[in-house]
Structure 1
Amino acid sequence: MEMEMLILFLLLPFVPLYLFRLLNSNARKSITEVDHHHQLQLPPGSSGWPIIGEGLAFLMTAKRGVPEKFIGDRRIKFSSSSHSKSSICKVFTTSLLRESVAVLCTAAGNKFLFSNENKLVHSWWPENIYTIFAGSDRPESHEESIRLRKVLSPFFSPNCLQKYVGIMDAFTKRHLDVFWSDKKQVKVLALTKMHTFALVCKIFLNVEDPSVIAKLEEPIQHIAAGFIALPINLPGTAFNRAIKASMQVRKDLEEMVQQRRIDLDRFRQTATASDVNENSNYQDLMSKLLMDTYSDGRQMKETDIADIANKLNGLLIAAYDNVFITLCSIVMYLSELSTVYDAVLKEQMEIASSSKAEGELLNWGDIQKMKYTWNVVCEVLRLEPPNPGTFREAMSDFVYEGYLIPKGMKLYWSVFSTHKDPEYFPDPKKFDPSRFDGGGPAPYSYVPFGGGPRMCPGREYARLTILVFMHNLITRFRWEKVFPDEKMVMTPFLLPTKGLPVRLYPHTSSL
C-alpha cells in the first residue's frame, strides 16, 4: 500500500488540468441531459476531492466502526435540497471509485433497484474486478447470468444442500478436534478462515488434500485484497499481486476441471444418468457445472473449461470471505452477551441430546430446530454485515424521487442505509434477536444477502455452514476475548482488529 500511495502523490502535480477539462466536459454533458429532460436535476451531493472523491471519508467512517454515518450525515446535509415530501433525502450523489454514484438510502430504494434489475439497471463492478479476473471478459450478459443461476439454483437449494449437513458436521467436528480441543487459547480469525475455505473446497470442488487447499487459499486472499487496492499494476503492489494470484488460481482450477472432465467421461461411459447423479464423487459444484456445460452433447472446448474455472474462482471467494467473517462476528458477540450465549447453548444442547445415538451426525431436521440460533445470526448480520452493498448502472435515463438518473450513472445500495436506521429497527444499536420473530423486519429493510434476481445464491449454503459450526463450537466451549476491547472493524473488509484471540473453557460433563 505504501508504494501505491507514493505513486499517487508523484502523479498528483500532473492531473489538475486534465481533471478540470474532464469535469467541464461532464458538466456540459449533464446540462445537455437536463435540458433534454425538461430541466430535471441530478440528486444533490458532493464530488469530494479530485481523484479520491469521497472514498477516504467512506473508508474512515467504516474504520471507526460507524459505516452508517457516511450515509446518515449526507442524508441530513442534503435534506434541504430534496424534492421528496419526507424531511430527509432519499437519494444523494457522491464520488466513489472514480465514479459519480447515486446512493439510494431507504428500503423503498432497495426495492426499486432489486425489482428493476435488467430493466432500468444492471450489475456493475469497478474496473479493478475486471482487470483482476482478466480472461473473464466484461460483465456476463443477461442470458449468461440467467443460465449460470439456473445451474447454481438447484445446487444451492435446500433440497440439494440438506444432504451435505452430515458432511459439514463431520468436517467441523474434525476441525475442532484438531485445532481447538486441548487448547487454552486460539485465534478465531485464522481458524475460521482455515475451516471455511477447507469446507468450501470439499463442497464445491470435492477436494480434501491439505496441500491442494493451501495452494489455493493464499492466492485467493491476494485476490480479495486486490479488490480494494489502488489500480496500479506495478511489481510489489497489492493490485499486481492480485492479478498474478488470479492467473495462478485460474490455471490451477482449469487443471482440476480438465481432470474432472476426463474422470467424468470415463465414468459416464459405463454408468447411467442416475448413477452419475447419485455418485458422491460427482455431487460437488465443479461436477455440476461440467455436466451442464455439455449436457447438450456437444464437445467441450478449452474456452468452456476456462469459463468454468473463472466461475469457480469467483464463487470460492464469495463463499469463503463472507462466511468466515460472519463466524468471527458471532464469536465476538457471544463472548460479550452471556444471556444470548446461554439461550443459544440451551437450544443447541437440546438438539444434541434429543434422541440422538452416540456419534450420530446432525441432519436437516436438526437445522430446522435452530430457530433462536438463526435469529442470533440474523441480528449479527444486521449489525456487522460482511458485504456492505453493491453497485448498479443505469441502462437508460430514468427518474427516481423526482431526480434525473442519466444512462451510465452508477447507483449504490448499502445495508447501512437501513440496518441501523431506527425507522426500520428501533433502538438500532441494541442486540435483539427477537426482531426476527414472526414476520421479521419490514420488506427490503434487512438485506445482508441483497435481493431481487441477483440475491446471493449461496445464502442457504452460508446458513448451513454457520449453524453447523455454531452447534459444534457452542456445545463444546465457552470463551472470552483476550483483548476485551477488541472490535470488528471495516478496513475496508470487516475483520477483528487483533485476529480475535480467545481463551477457551470446555464445558463440564454436567452440561
Structure 2
Amino acid sequence: MSYPFPGTDGGACWVVVASLVPTALCLIIWKLWNMHNHSLRDMKCSLPLPPGSMGLPLLGESLHFVTMGANFYRKRLKSYGGVSKTNILGNPTILVLGAKNVRKILMGETSLVASYWPQSVRTLMGEGTVSHSEGPTHKTRRKSIVKAFNHAALSSYLLESQDIFRFYINRWCRQGTVLGFEECKKLSLRFACHVLIGFQISEKELGQLIELYAVFSDGLFSIPLKIPGSGFHKGMVAREKLMEKIGEFLDRRKEWSGPPDALTYMMKQSEEELSRKELKEVAMELLLTGHVTAGSAACSLLLYLGRNREVLDRVVEELRQHNMYDDVGGLTLEQLGQLKYVSNVVKEVVRIAPPVGGGFRKALKTFELDGYQVPKGWTVAFSIREAQEQSDIFPDGDKFDPDRWDDMTMEREHFFPFGAGRRVCVGKELGKLMLKIFVVELAINCRWNLLNEYPVIEEMPVPRPVDGLPAVFSSLQKLEI
C-alpha cells in the first residue's frame, strides 16, 4: 500500500488536510470581504473611513444589531466614538452618534442624505406609506396629512381622547393589578383606531390587532429572509392578516358616524386619490405609529411618574393652581398650554426614553463627519436615544428631571425625539397632546404603585419593560364615563 507522503500515515495526513482547507477558505473569504468593504470607500475623497468592524462575510454585524438593540450603539460609542463603520442588514453602514452629528443628518435631507429604511422595514411597511414615499408623492401626502394635525383638528380630538383615557384608567382601578405596558398598548391602539382612523372595533378585535402588531413590529428590524419561523417571515404573515383586517374595518368605516378623524381630514385635503391598497397601507402605518410608539411613551410616563412620586405631586399642584384638579370636564388646548410643568414632564419622558430611538438614511454624496468620510451610497444609521441622553447640555442625562427644562435655551440643537428637518414626525403635536392629557387624567383620577420600579428595558423597536410593568391602581374618585 502506498501513502500520500513518504514515511507518514495517510489517514493522519488527510485529517490534517481536511482541517486546513476549510480554515484556508475562511481566511480567503475574510480577506476578500475586507477588500470588498475597503473598495466601497470614495477614493476621490482624501478623508479616511471611520474606525469600526464590518463583521462576518455577508452577515456583517446584523446578528449583533438585531439581538443587542440599543446596546449595540452604546458599545460602538465606547469602542469607536461618535462615528464608526459597520455592515448591518445587508448594507455597509456608518453609525452616527452625538447630538451635533445626528442633527446634521436629520437636517441634511435632500442635500446630504435621503430617507431610507432597511429592506425588512420597506417590505413589511409597503411602499404606499407616507414615511417610505419619495419626491412629489411624499410632498403631496405629507401636505394632505398635515391638515389632520392643525389647531382646529387637534381641538376636535380632545373630547374623545379624554373619554378613552378615562375609560381605561377607570378599568385599571377596578382591576387593581395590571401590566402597564400591555394596557398602554390597548389604550393607545383604541386611541389610534378612533382618533386617527375612525374605526369602531370590539374588544376582541382590539386584542387581535395588538397580537398581530406585536409580531409585525418584532419583524421590522430583521434579516429579510423568508425562512419559515424567522422574525421576518412571521412579520410578513402578520402583515397579510393586518391588511385583511384593515380592509374589513375600512368597509365598516362607512357606517361610522363618530367625530372627525385624522384619515378623514387627510382624504379631504389630498390632491390624489389613493388606491385601496395604498389606503390600507396608510391606515396600517397610522395605526402602527399611533399605538406602538404612543403606547411606549405612555408606559414610560407610568414608569417615571410611578418611580418619582414628587413629580406627580408637582403635577397635582400645578393643576390646582389653574383650577383644573377638581374639574374633570372637557379640556381645551388653551388650558393644556398653560401647564408648563406638565409640558416639562412630557419633554423629559421623550428625552430619556424616546419612542423612536433612531433611524436610517442613505448618503446622496460623500460628506464629512468628525474628520471621516461618509461615502456616497452607504447607509447612515443614527441614534436619537444616545444623542439626547449624552448631550453636554443635559447634566446627569440618565436622571429623570423635569425641572431641567425651566432653563433650557438650546433644546432644538440637542432635543429631537420626533426627528427634525423635512422628515420630522408629522403627528408630533398630537403625540405631545396625547401625553399631556394622559398625565392630567392620571393625576386627577388615580394613584398607582409599581411592583418593580427598575425593570429591565428592551429598547428595540421601542422602549418597553421586559416584565410588562406590573402596577397596582386605585381610584381617587368615581369617574364619569
The normalised TM-score by structure 2 is 0.84
Match of 2:395 in 1: 426
Partner AA of 1:206 in structure 2:
G
Find out whether 1:161 has 2:168 as its counterpart: no
Question: Aligned to 1:445, which of 399, 410, 414?
Answer: 414
Question: Aligned to 1:250, which of 232, 243, 264?
Answer: 243
Query: What's the CA shift for 1:168?
Result: 0.6
* 1:257–1:305 Cα contact (<8 Å) kept: no
Question: Aligned to 1:28, which of 39, 46, 51?
Answer: 39
C-alpha separation in 2, matches of 1:97 and 1:435: 38
TM alignment of 1:338-377, pairs within 5 A: 338-351=309-322, 353=324, 356=327, 360-377=329-346
Match of 1:43 in 2: 50
C-alpha separation in 2, matches of 1:440 and 1:488: 30
- Provide Cα deviations, 1:56-91, integer angstroms capped at 9, x if missing partner: 55567657xx67632430345xxxxxxxxxxxxx52
Match of 1:274 in 2: none
Query: What's the CA shift for 1:126?
Result: 0.6
SS in 1 for 2:448: strand
C-alpha separation in 2, matches of 1:181 and 1:388: 31
SS in 2 for 1:504: strand
C-alpha separation in 1, matches of 2:50 and 2:352: 28
Pairwise CA RMSD: 3.1
Partner AA of 2:74 in structure 1:
K
Match of 2:89 in 1: 97
Find out whether 1:121 has 2:113 as its counterpart: yes
Match of 2:357 in 1: 388
Query: What's the CA shift for 1:157?
Result: 2.3
C-alpha separation in 1, matches of 2:477 and 2:264: 44
TM alignment of 1:96-245, pairs within 5 A: 96-134=88-126, 136=128, 139-177=132-170, 179-210=171-202, 211-245=204-238
Q: Which has the larger radius of gyration?
A: 2
Match of 2:445 in 1: 476
Query: What's the CA shift for 1:482?
Result: 1.5
C-alpha separation in 2, matches of 1:493 and 1:98: 22
Find out whether 1:311 has 2:316 as its counterpart: no
C-alpha separation in 1, matches of 2:267 and 2:107: 31
Aligned residues: 453
C-alpha separation in 2, matches of 1:446 and 1:481: 28
* 2:156–2:259 Cα contact (<8 Å) kept: no
CA distance 1:349–1:75, change in 2 (3 Å): farther
SS in 1 for 2:275: helix
Find out whether 1:496 has 2:465 as its counterpart: yes
Match of 1:273 in 2: none
Query: What's the CA shift for 1:220?
Result: 2.0
- Provide Cα deviations, 1:125-168, integer angstroms capped at 9, x if missing partner: 01101222356499422111111110111112233212211111
Match of 1:322 in 2: 293
* 1:74–1:92 Cα contact (<8 Å) kept: no
Question: Aligned to 1:414, which of 383, 389, 393?
Answer: 383
Residue ranges of structure 2 left out of the alignment (5+ in a row): 1-21
* 1:206–1:284 Cα contact (<8 Å) kept: yes
Match of 1:8 in 2: none
Query: What's the CA shift for 1:351?
Result: 4.8
C-alpha separation in 1, matches of 2:250 and 2:475: 42
Find out whether 1:290 has 2:267 as its counterpart: yes
Partner AA of 2:245 in structure 1:
D
C-alpha separation in 2, matches of 1:23 and 1:121: 25
* 1:58–1:70 Cα contact (<8 Å) kept: no
Query: What's the CA shift for 1:417?
Result: 3.7
- Provide Cα deviations, 1:294-332, integer angstroms capped at 9, x if missing partner: x57xxx5xx622112112211211111111111111111
Partner AA of 1:287 in structure 2:
T
Partner AA of 1:28 in structure 2:
S
SS in 1 for 2:393: coil
C-alpha separation in 2, matches of 1:117 and 1:491: 24
CA distance 1:162–1:70, change in 2 (3 Å): farther
C-alpha separation in 1, matches of 2:73 and 2:315: 28
CA distance 1:386–1:355, change in 2 (3 Å): closer
Q: Which has the higher mean CA deviation after the structures are superposed, 446-455 or 379-388?
A: 379-388
* 1:329–1:488 Cα contact (<8 Å) kept: no
C-alpha separation in 2, matches of 1:189 and 1:139: 28
